Amino acid sequence: MNISPNKKPSARFAPWDDPAQKPLVRFGNVTKRFGSFTAIDNISLDIYEREFFALLGPSGCGKTTMMRMLAGFEKPSEGTISLGGEDIADIPPYKRPVNMMFQSYALFPHMTVEANIAFGLKQDKWPKQQISERVEEMLSLVQLTKFAKRKPHQLSGGQRQRVALARSLAKKPKLLLLDEPLGALDKKLREKTQFELMDIQEKLGMTFVIVTHDQEEAMTVASRIAVMDDGKLIQVATPEVIYEYPNCRYVADFIGDVNLVEGRISTTAEEMVKLSWAEGQGDIDISYKNGCSAGENACLAIRPEKVHVTREEPQDVDNKIRGVIHDIAYIGNLSTYYVKLGNGQIFRAQESNRRRLANREFTWDDQVWLSWRNTAGVLLQK
Amino acid sequence: MNRRFTWFNATSLTLGFVFLYLPILLLVIFSFNESRLVTVWAGFSTKWYVELFQDEAFLDAALVTLRVALLSATIATILGTLAAVVMIRAGRFKGRTLFSGMIYAPLVMPEVITGLSLLLLFVAIGIDRGFWTITIAHITFSMCYAAVVVSSRMVTFDTSLEEAATDLGCTPFQSFIKVTLPIMAPAIISAWLLAFTLSLDDLVIASFTSGPGATTLPMKIYSQVRLGVTPQINALSTILISIVTLGVLTASFLTRRAESKRKADELLAGS
């Protein structure tokens, strides 16, 4: 595939890998308790300028609390939060250079679209002329110029979402917080709006922090993702790393589909381990760089799309297992084969449907071979 | 739903309306009676209305009633709104149920007891009874109604609206004034109207807490009727009924217009 040169940045945007870069936001050992419940458990996290940072996790994992602490609606029980090097723990929300787009949009129902966008500017006592210019600019940014005089209830869901975005951008905040910004939109509109959000973020060169429970949304928009669970950060990395190199079962399982094969490391060679996983089955080769020793319990995580299904025994592959097709999930572009292995475990393999359904190669109860390269999966230690 | 017209439906409808409105209709008709005798029709006349407006005692009572109602409704609405805000916003604290129960309890308290207890209080602390004691008493009981009306709307109020205002640079007080109050305005206005009407209507509590020189209209009517119903009273009642009817009609007209406007807006949003 061709990538046009202007789309490809000359230097990869990765301030987190550059020790000279100063973070815009720094959580330093932040803990937040509500009564006896610990919502955030000793989190340290850096977010850099111009990042589109996603906090991802199931509901109740503490991601919203992280965001509300950035906005100033909650104070950390312990630890520090700094913005541009300044400790903001004691600065009230109305004095922070941070704006938020609310999940419910929180548009003021008694004001027009225009007045909603101008609200923060009036509050900051901008001159009249500048306010109307800025409102104009914001309206054209979100393509709502025609709707300036309407009230929020006269708009559709997608339009409301854009008003909310325009209002939170109007004051040119150093940091924009988005709380499940697309949750109320239907799937098609959500996908379209994700790209709009990315365009706007790139155009304005601002720092966005998004809270979401939708992993696809996080993967699409974010420069980095922090996967959270139970008040802790589990893994903070780029979408590719999170997907290809999850650091634990939780992340592997939470992001996308995964096959987990439990076993014991039988031998370790240079950058290669063998995992013994079931009696009477050959060991699985896994490419692995970090240290580990034989006898340890470990687990192979491999994505279904990296496993091939063939009728004939494949040659020149690193790993192969026999199985019987137990179930087929056909979703149009893809089919997922649920293959039952000799030990009863169900293994998922995904193939894209390049041919029409009538010519499908496999059907229920077929004997097949599963195969994958030793670099396709990752080894997860306990 | 069965929308067919049947004799049974028609009869029950007629009976119902007769039951509700016949007494009032009689009162209105006899207010235009020429004769002094309330039960004998002697021709049309508006002389009782003229006489009413020349009766200084009645006019005084009307003025007292109006002043008490305006003042007590306003203060009760302010206090009731504050109580509602606290009840809805304070979250869970120890004794919350008890506290909210205590706000609503006066709603079901017999008026006689409320009146009596207030009377005892005023006597105990030695306030001269009159205009101010009636006003305070009316604030006391209508505040509960105001709190109920406002808090029922407050429950559905999206607190993220206030947070959004704060996020955009408002202090908590400013966001209350600029966002919460305008949105709550309809509920606050209906609370005020309810408090105002309750104060206009009240006879029992006013009788307990008033003193010489401060007589409200209901008290005046009641004391007159004990000496015999005069057509003057009928005239006065007719005026009160007209005012109330006008108020109710205006309110329902405004509500209906707002409703149809909202429907039109929603059609617009869908397009």
The whole-number average pLDDT for the span B55-59 is: 85
Per-position pLDDT tens, chain A of length 382:
344 444 444 467 889 988 888 999 999 999 999 989 999 999 999 999 999 999 999 998 999 999 999 999 999 999 999 999 999 988 999 999 999 999 999 999 999 999 999 999 999 999 999 999 999 999 999 999 999 999 998 999 899 999 999 999 999 999 999 999 988 888 888 888 999 999 999 999 999 999 999 999 999 999 999 999 999 999 999 999 999 999 999 999 999 889 999 999 888 887 888 888 887 788 888 888 777 778 888 899 999 999 999 988 998 888 999 999 999 998 888 889 999 998 889 999 998 887 776 666 788 899 999 999 988 989 988 6
Structurally, how many domains does chain B consist of? 1
Own/partner long-range contacts of A113-116 (Cβ < 8 Å, ≥24 apart) = A113/A139, A113/A144, A113/A147, A113/A148, A113/A149, A113/A150, A113/A151, A113/A152, A113/A155, A113/A163, A114/A139, A114/A148, A114/A149, A116/A152, A116/A163, A116/A167
- In chain B, the residue whose alpha carbon lies closest to the alpha carbon of A73 is B163
Q: Which residues contact B171 (CB under 8 A, 6 or more apart)?
A: A92, A94
- Which tops the pLDDT comparison, B258 or A335? A335
Spell out which chain A residues touch chain B, with contact meaning CB-CB distance below 8 angstroms.
71-73, 92-94, 98-100, 102-104, 106-110, 119-120, 123-124, 150-151, 153-156, 159, 167-168, 171
Who among A120, A123, A153 is closest to B265 (CB)? A153
CB contact under 8 A, B268 and A151: no
A–B CB contacts, 8 A cutoff, strictly below: 70
| pLDDT, position B270 | 58
**A81 within 8 A of A88, measured Cβ to Cβ:** yes
**Cα–Cα distance between A297 and A272 in angstroms, integer?**
16
Residue type, A353: N
Average pLDDT, chain B: 86
B11: in domain: no
Q: From the CA of B184, how many Å to the nearest CA of chain A?
A: 10
- Within-domain flag for B5: no
Is B156 a member of any domain?
Answer: yes
Q: What are phi and psi of A38, to 5 degrees?
A: -95, 110
Structure-derived torsion over alpha carbons of residues A165, A168, A170, A174, reported in degrees to the nearest 10: -120
Using CB atoms, pick whichever of B167, B179, B269 lies closest to residue A93: B167
Can you tell me the mean pLDDT for B161-173? 94
What's residue A4's pLDDT?
40
The larger pLDDT score, comparing residue A67 to residue B187, is at A67
Residues A83, A62: Cα–Cα separation, whole Å: 20
Whether B26 shows a pLDDT value over 90: the answer reads no
> Taking residues B257-265, what's their average pLDDT?
77
Chain A residues with CB under 8 Å of B266 CB are 153-154
Question: Taking the domains of chain A in order of start, what are their residue ranges?
Answer: 9-97+173-252, 257-381
ipTM value greater than 0.95: no
CB contact under 8 A, A93 and B166: yes
| Whole-number Å distance between alpha carbons of A271 and A287 | 6
Q: What is the mean pLDDT of residues B143-156?
A: 89
Find chain B residues with C-beta within 8 A of A94's C-beta: 166-171
The domain A257-381 is placed in CATH, from the list 1.10.3720.10, 3.40.50.1820, 2.40.50.100, 3.10.150.10, at: 2.40.50.100
Cβ contact B135:B211 at 8 Å: no
Interface contact flag, B167 A100, Cβ < 8 Å = yes
Per the structure, the complete domain to which residue B71 belongs is given by 51-270
CATH code, A9-97+173-252: 3.40.50.300
Burial (Cβ within 10 Å: 0-12, 13-18, ≥19) of residue A120: buried
The contacts of residue A336 (CB under 8 Å, 6+ apart) are A257, A304, A328, A329, A348, A349, A350
Q: Which of B160, B169, B265 sits opposite A120 (nearest CB)?
A: B169
Q: Which residues of A touch B170 (CB under 8 A)?
A: 94, 123
pLDDT exceeds 90 at position B52: no
Cβ neighbour number for residue A101 with a 10 Å cutoff: 24
Comparing CA positions, the residue from A80, A81, A87, A37 lying closest to residue A62 is: A37
Q: Which of B26, B22, B23, B30 is nearest to B49 (CA)?
A: B30
Identity at B122, one-letter amino acid code: F
Query: What angle do helix axes B181-201 and B217-226 make, rounded to 10 degrees?
Result: 20
Query: CA-CA distance, A163 to A101, in Å (whole number)?
Result: 10
* Predicted pLDDT of residue A8: 42
User: A116 to chain B nearest CA, in Å?
Assistant: 10
Q: Confirm whether B220 is domain-assigned.
A: yes
Residue B184 maps to a domain: yes
Q: How far apart are CA B103 and CA A76, in angstroms?
A: 35
Q: What is the pLDDT of residue B169?
A: 94
**What pLDDT digit, counting tens, does each position of B123-140 carry?**
999 888 889 999 999 999
Q: Contact A71/A98 with Cβ under 8 angstroms?
A: yes
* B224 found inside a domain: yes
Q: How much is the pLDDT for A152?
A: 92
In degrees and rounded to multiples of 5, residue A267 shows phi and psi of -140, 155
Closest residue, chain A, to B170 (C-alpha): A94
Contact B168 A153 (CB under 8 A): no
Query: Which domain CATH number covers B242?
Result: 1.10.3720.10
Which residues have C-beta within 8 Å of that of residue A22, sequence separation ≥ 6?
A: A85
